[in-house]
Structure 1
Amino acid sequence: MIYELNHVGGRIRDLDASLAFYGETAGAEVVDRLFMVSANVDRVHIQIATGLVELLHNREPDPDATYGLNHVGFMTDDLDADYTRLIDAGYAELSAPRVAGSGQGRLAFLSDPNGVRIELLQRTEEFRVPPITSGPVRRLSYVALSAPDLDAAIEFYGDHLGMERWTPDRPDDAVYFRLGVDAVKLLPTAGTPVSHLGLEVADPGSDLQDPDGNRLRFVPAA
């Protein structure tokens, strides 16, 4: 069973620059850090208030790499069964279940109906810590995803991932689903698969972009 929206993640160019940006603008803290020797990649989980962001940094520059947030990770207690169920339902296979490069459990990747990469994880490690309250962000309100085929996205996240349809305190025309403490916002427009992060703050200011072009939208606290 899929039971938690665990993180949003992607590749970054400069680890120090990303950590400084998220620390200064969002009060993020590093909650997990390791080096995957086989891939030559630093994997760092930062927590922004309530939510996890996974930063993947290759120590060898790759001129062909695409940088930015590119996937959403979900926890499952039965990776093989959930992966098979979703592939049998017609969703595109990207990477079959395998041992994670970190050695921490197993993972698999598939595509949602609009091309968003979905990671399924089964592991015993828990990186999330109690909500971080020292920074300006009160919670990671949502991860905004491109969903031009909105009906298909609603079926995928609601019926197949088991997320709950959710209405925020200040509703808009988008469709929201949540699982655990985190939520996705489905945007019926085409764009980058992960459009932006919605961060709840007491005093919203202008949107910002991190060093890799990921957009942060500050939304007013209820």
Structure 2
Amino acid sequence: MIYELNHVGGRVQDLDASLAFYGGLGAEVVDRLFMSGSGVHRVHIQVATGLVELLHHEQADPDATYGLNHVGFMTDDLDGDYARLIGLGYGELSSPRVAGSGQGRLAFLSDPNGVRVELLQRSEEFRVAPITSGPVRALSYVGIAAPDLGAAAEFYGTHLGMEQVADDTFRLGPDAVKLLPSATTTIDHLGLNADEPRTAGADPDGNRVRFV
């Protein structure tokens, strides 16, 4: 069973710059390791209530694209949930395998609008109690592309088991996705709740943050 929207993540060009940006929003590092096999630094930061996974490759790649590019869900039955979703016709990207970190197993598939969805099965829990020392009170939602809104609602609501909390918003665990028919990138922005009005901006890789 899929039981939690665990994180939003992607590749970053300058890890220190990304950590400084999110640190300014009160984020804290809750997990950090180096995957020697792939030469990738993996850092999970928590912004108030939500996890963001930053992946930094030591070896520069001029053809790489940077920015948030997937949403990750926890499951207690990776093989079963993956087979069920692929059987329903969703796109297979990477079949179940041991994670590069050695922490559990993972798989990737595509939602109806091309958003990369990661399924994770592991025992490690990186999320900590809500961080209240910074200006952000909650990661309200991850805004994702959904030009076919009905198909996206069926995928996240019916097949992933998320609770529909608004016409376009689905929650599972502490965090939510917001379906955006007019989005131009698969992960459009992060919606943050702040304790005072703040101006929208973007992190060093161009990922937009919007205060709601």
- Write out per-residue CA displacement over residues 166-217 of structure 1, whole angstroms, 9 at most, x where no aligned residue: 03xxxxxx60000011000001114100000001012222211000000000
Q: Percent identity, please.
A: 75
- Write out per-residue CA displacement over residues 49-105 of structure 1, whole angstroms, 9 at most, x where no aligned residue: 000000000011111101000000000000000000000000000000000000000
Report what 2:192 is aligned to.
199
Report what 2:18 is aligned to.
18
Q: Is the 2:144–2:183 Cα contact (8 Å) retained in structure 1?
A: no
**CA separation in 2, counterparts of 1:21 and 1:157?**
30
Report how many aligned residue pairs link the two structures.
Answer: 212
Secondary structure of 2:138's counterpart equals: strand
Runs of 5+ in structure 1 lacking a partner? 168-173
Report what 1:45 is aligned to.
44
Which amino acid is 2:208 matched to?
R
> Where does 1:1-222 land on structure 2 (aligned, <5 Å)?
1-24=1-24, 26-167=25-166, 175-219=168-212
Secondary structure of 2:158's counterpart equals: helix
TM-score by structure 2 length? 0.99
**CA separation in 1, counterparts of 2:202 and 2:122?**
32
**CA separation in 1, counterparts of 2:39 and 2:195?**
40
RMSD: 0.7
TM-score by structure 1 length? 0.94
**CA separation in 2, counterparts of 1:126 and 1:190?**
31
Secondary structure of 1:17's counterpart equals: helix
Which amino acid is 2:204 matched to?
P
